[in-house]
Structure 1
Amino acid sequence: MLKQFFWMCSGADTDILESSSKSEQHKFAGIGGTVFFTAVMASIAGSYALYTVFDNPYLAVFFGLIWGLLIFNLDRFIVSTLKKSDNKWKEIMQATPRIILAIIIAVVIAKPLELKIFEKEIDQVLLEEKNELTLANKAQIANQFTPQINALNTEITQLKDEIDAKEQAVDTLYETYIAEAEGRKGTKLLGKGPVYKEKREKHDAQLSELKDLKEANKEKITEKEAQIASLISEQKDQEATTQPIIDGFDGLMARINALDKLPWLPSFFIFLLFLAIETSPILAKLISPKGEYDFKLQDQENAVKTWVEQKVHQRAQVLKTDMQLNEEIYSDLTEEEELYNYKRKKARELLQQQADSFHASQQKIIR
């Protein structure tokens, strides 16, 4: 049962193989097994590749099975259409497009499996790329908000500096009227005289202005700090909104690009392995000598070809004979008087009917 299944996979004529030797049966069973297991590997590779696209195991398995059946059908077609002949160069020319197609299939099968085999290494490369993208994204977003935040911080600093300058002026006036009262500066008279009162009033006026300035600047600083907090919050929100896009940067193309950044030698050997598997049935047919199955198949095809040629020749002879007979028959009929009189009678009747019809149509016109 399994042997016949592999025969079917090889695309061979099972009726001919039934009557062939054991070696021929084993050869085609091996070819069919290679075709079948290549399709299985293609199905697995396709399922994994599609899983990275859909993120749905059921869809990935479904389309992976369809992909495996497609590869199976292509491989079976490639092997079944490659037939042995007495001319090796003719066989090579016949096999060349099939080998090219097999190489393409090997690349398509090997690449998703390489992605799975080197999944951990690829994840590491993707993690580094994601980190770089995250930092670049934050820097790009920060460039949008930093000028406004810096401008607000500068304004806050200016408001605070204005308060500090006012405080220093008030402190200076305080020191001036105290020194006047103690007699250390100014009139150098001990006590609270007119000059002291004048300086005290000036200090008190500046102190009142300082109090009003603090209240006004405090409101402005609070407002600007609220604007800074709003900008920072907006910046964080934008970072949080764009981060999932970076986190999802692990699709099929991203993984293929990450694989290209890894050492090429292991991937190359995996490709060579699948190339050998994919081309082995074709190479086996090319290398192996013409066997019993090939002779029987050729004999069967030649029998059909001969039968078709006989049918074509027979139809040509029938047509030629029929044409000759028709020519002789019609030639004999031209000499028969009975047929001549009959056709003459019918022609006379036809002319009479035409004349009567023409006469009737003319009368209708006159009337």
Structure 2
Amino acid sequence: MMLNFNFWKNKKVLITGCTGFSGSWLVIFLNFLQSKVIGYSLKPPSKPSLFNIMGLKNKIRLYNGDINNYNSLKKIINKEKPDVVFHLAANAIVLDCHRDPINTYKTNSFGVLNLLEILRSYKKKITVNIVTSDKCYVNSSKKLLFNEESPLGGDDVYSASKAVAEIMVKSYQKYFSSNIKITTIRSGNIIGGGDWGKYRLITDLVLSKFRKKKINIRNMNSIRPWQHIYDVIHGYLLISQFTSSSKQFHSWNVAPHDSRLSVKKIYYFFFKKKIEKKLLKKNIDIEKKTLTLDSKKIFRKLKWKPIYTYKIMMADIFKWYEVYYSKKDIKKYSYNSLNRYFDRLKK
């Protein structure tokens, strides 16, 4: 399946959580595709933030609101009448979720329920893409490469809250979906320029490299399906196109070429040396040391595969922050970078 520019042109697309890292890049992509973007979100979660740096407030219809505010969200949906929804609003920091389980379940699980219940009486046909997490699977040593049929679950609060959301979506799709087409998307660890989320590996490496901040590595041997934000959003868009005409409910894994990248390898790219022992910090034993995804389904059905190899991905990320911290024109670099990505797509 090819990215269909005509499909997206003038489409009214609602993004919840649009001020976050992934949401901001999704706004940029959809602006490039000439969609009419509506944003519903809290304020940007970090300072600095990609949303503010790129001036995205002036490129969309933005409503400040909490996904847990049912009446506020319903009012915006009924007013704007979107054709497509990308639900990204979430408590996404695993350690914060562990410290605040109640608000995590409210946002990550019942925030999804609010959206689904509002759309149950929606009079217009709509495509709804619920972005959950690669951590929604039961992660045991018996099975490390998860496909879409792997059992849902999770030991920690974040993982469990995402698994609950998945189960809710499947229930609504089966019984209440006369006018809505729903899909769930489980992407790997997303990285790219403009991410300053706390407890994030790239954020820590960037601040150490360009701001000489002290860095603490929690799990140097951790393995994750790290992938570039551009490839992930390309997957989101193809999935949404497919969902709009599909008669079946689908869940999708979106994973990189190499689903076994380690912290050590990414650290080495930034500093060209091995991690020193003094940088290692004892970690709260919440996150699993290994997580890998099987994305054969999205390749088989949609012909999606990552465009960026590890080296291209890391070079782009490093250059993005280098341009930003040297106070050069980061907007120009970002749009040029995206244009290069679209050129690769065409090839």
Superposition TM-score, scaled by structure 2 size: 0.21
Q: Relative CO higher for 1 or 2, CA cutoff 8 Å, sep ≥ 6?
A: 1
Higher strand share: 2
Larger radius of gyration: 1
Superposition TM-score, scaled by structure 1 size: 0.20
Higher helix share: 1
